[in-house]
Structure 1
Amino acid sequence: MRIVNMAEWPLGEHDERSHPPEGELLWNESWYFDFVSEDGQLGGYVRLGLYPAWKRAWYWACLVTADGRRATVLDHEAPLPAGDLTATGEGYLAAHRTTDPFRRAEIHLSSADLSLDLEYRTAGGVYGYAITPRYEIPCEVTGTIDGRPFRGHGERDHSWGVRDWWSISWLWSSARLEDGTYLHGMRANLGTELPWPAFLAPAGEGPAHVPGFSAATVFDGDRPAESVLRFPGQVTTVRPIAFAPVALTSPEGTVAAFSRAMCAYETEDGRTGAGWTEWHQPPGWREHPWEGRV
């Protein structure tokens, strides 16, 4: 297993556990679990976000299919878990466990609309960000969805720190190509260049950081229609297949649009794949610097 850490802070297996909260209202700790079936026709994601100072947790579980099915469990007022990562709310029970740090994790959800029992096994290694405490892990994903066998791929991540959803827009994308290559890229629209998190992980290899990642997006109104991801030596076109968005309301009542979609990916040399992309759109996002908009 390869661990690539772009930051000066050490990244160790202890980081798979929860971190001591800080006092800011928007300090949060979150765990994401994305998944897409091998044929790219079904996918989803789970996010658990803890907001200790705000005295709540956010729980999201979304499932989409290429033919238009969508099932969601969205709760922005869940009680904070007591000592573990179990989320509960009206009509659902969700659990999240790291069974072997950096190597295996599990998620479980029982609800009237959606049930998940999935295991994430690390494919290659771990990638740590430089610009914020966060790491990404490309994974093979197996288990059951609504009681039916599932096999596919995905990425899980874990982050902690202040996250102001209502002031910054960004693009985040993760996928697996048909030749087994995992890719990941992220850019925030800050009006300045930073060491943006991006990696390529060929089949059987761990993530390798690639500098100079950029992205451009064409919008149809407010909806993303297509993005082009540029890695050194590789250009990949991303097209949404099925959206699973979430509306996010701040403590003051401001609403941001979190546009997330299962997507089809195609490289310039003809390789295809599937994964997830998000285009975060806070109020006034069109007026903010957006290096990635065309």
Structure 2
Amino acid sequence: MRIVDMGDGTLAPRDERPHEPGPELLWNESYYLDFVSEDGGLGGYVRFGLYPNWGRAWFWACLVGGDRRPVLIADHDARLPSGGDPAVTGDGYTAAQRTLEPMRTARLTLASDDLHLDLEWRTAGGVYGYALTPRYEIPCQVTGTIDGEPFAGHGERDHSWGVRDWWSVSWLWSSGRLADGTFLHGMQANVGVALPWPAFTVPPGGEVEHVENFSAAGEFADDRPSGARLGFPGLGTTVEPLAGASLELISPDGAPARFSRSMCRFVADDGRVGHGWTEWHQPPGWREHGWGHLV
């Protein structure tokens, strides 16, 4: 298994475990898991966001697409878990992520009034560590059951730790897989300057490779995301939202931010098509620095 560490070179399987919190109110330990069926017709995501100094956990889970009605669970006042892997219980649900083999396999279980998930994420191609913040992303094959029915698809899981201030910076994050097995991932924050943004690809059956000079641009209609353009050198890709599962996030002092996340269709310029997830984060004043650029 390949680990591409763009940071300080210390990323290791031990980082699957929780980290010592910093002193900041918005210090956060976050675990994401998303998934899309092989045909792109059904997908969802789950997030555990632990704020030890704010005294709460955020838990999100959604399912969109197919012939099912959309499901969205959003609990911003869950009890903080204790111990190792994240596990939360709230009104009408229980959820847990278990690391079965560090950096290789993780299992998610969710039992709620509206949705039951029992899914495994198995690493496909290795692990990618960010340089700008303590975080890693893992492209995966995803299998298991949804409401007792078999599921097979792909997705990504990630783990980050550090200050997570949702109300200061806008960004575009996107992760997908083309039908030939190529994984794509890129993230760009809108901070008014160009930086070496985290991005990688995985060729069919291959390993994670960092991509230089990634860029992205979001598109909006009436302040709602309507698409995006991803600039992987030699592999320009258009993102088309299919089904959204967005949230309003309220800061400790009452400021709102819109977290827009959608299951999407990815169309590469060479004609290849795939599916995945994209987020367009919209904090207060999100338009002030524009919305990304292509280089």
TM-score (norm 2): 0.97
Confirm or deny: 8 A CA contact 1:66 1:241 kept in the other structure: no
Partner residue in 2 for 1:50 = 50
CA distance in 2 between counterparts of 1:244 and 1:167 reads: 21
Matching residue of 1:7? 7
Counterpart of 1:249? 250
Gap change, CA 1:68 and 1:279, over 3 Å in 2 = farther
Shift of 1:289: 4.1
CA distance in 2, matches of 1:192, 1:230: 16
1:199-256 superposed Cα distances (whole Å, 9 cap, x missing partner): 1100111110011111112211111112110111100010000000011000011110
| Separation in structure 1 between the aligned mates of residue 235 and residue 149 of structure 2, nearest angstrom | 36
Partners of 2:238 and 2:268 within 8 A in 1: yes
Question: What is the alpha-carbon distance in structure 1 between the residues aligned to residue 243 and residue 173 of structure 2?
Answer: 16
Counterpart of 1:83, as a letter, is: G
> Deviation at 1:83?
1.1
Query: Retained in 1: the 8 A contact 2:116–2:146?
Result: yes
Q: How does 1:1-294 map to 2 (within 5 A)?
A: 1-65=1-65, 69-84=69-84, 85-292=86-293
**Deviation (angstroms), 1:292:** 3.6
Q: What is the one-letter code of the residue matched to 1:255?
A: P
User: Per the alignment, do residues 128 and 155 of structure 1 end up closer, same or farther by CA in structure 2, a change over 3 Å counting?
Assistant: same
Write out per-residue CA displacement over residues 39-78 of structure 1, whole angstroms, 9 at most, x where no aligned residue.
Answer: 1000000000000000000000011005673101110000
Counterpart residue identity of residue 190, structure 2: N
2:211 partner letter: V
Q: Contact 2:262–2:277 (CA<8 Å) still a contact in 1?
A: yes
**Greater Cα shift, 169-178 or 216-225:** 216-225
**8 Å Cα contact 1:72-1:114 kept in structure 2:** no
- 1: CA distance, partners of 2:203 / 2:292: 28
Q: 1:145 to 1:68 in 2, by over 3 A?
A: closer
Partner Cα separation in structure 2 for residue 208 and residue 181 of structure 1: 11
Give the Cα–Cα distance (whole angstroms) in 1 for the partners of residues 272 and 110 of structure 2.
Answer: 34
Q: Unaligned stretches of 5+ in structure 2?
A: none
Q: Distance in 2 between matches of 1:47 and 1:246?
A: 12
Q: Deviations over 1:184-209 (max 9, x none)?
A: 00000111122200011001111100
Native 8 Å contact 1:87 1:94 kept in 2: yes
Q: Which runs of 4+ in 1 moved over 3 A?
A: none
Shift of 1:288: 3.0
Residue 15 of structure 1 aligns to a residue whose secondary structure is helix
The worse-fitting range, judged by mean Cα deviation, of 9-18 and 280-289 is 280-289
Instruction: Give the letter aligned to residue 200 of structure 2.
Output: F
Q: Deviations over 1:62-119 (max 9, x none)?
A: 1100567310111000000021411011111001110000100000000001110000
8 A Cα contact 1:3 1:206, kept in partner: no
| Cα pair distance change 1:160/1:192, threshold 3 Å | same
Partners of 1:124 and 1:259 in 2: CA distance: 28
Moved more, 80-89 or 245-254: 80-89
Percent identical across equivalent pairs? 65
Q: Specify the code of the residue in structure 2 equivalent to 1:18.
A: P
> Are 1:213 and 1:230, in contact at CA under 8 Å, matched by a contact in 2?
yes
Deviation at 1:291, TM superposition (A): 2.7
Using the TM superposition, give the Cα deviation of residue 9 of structure 1 relative to its aligned residue in structure 2, in angstroms: 4.0
SS at match of 1:14: helix
Coordinate RMSD, CA, aligned? 1.2
The letter of the residue matching 2:23 is G
Q: 1:55, 1:87 → 2: CA distance?
A: 13
SS at match of 1:82: coil
Partner SS for 1:274? strand
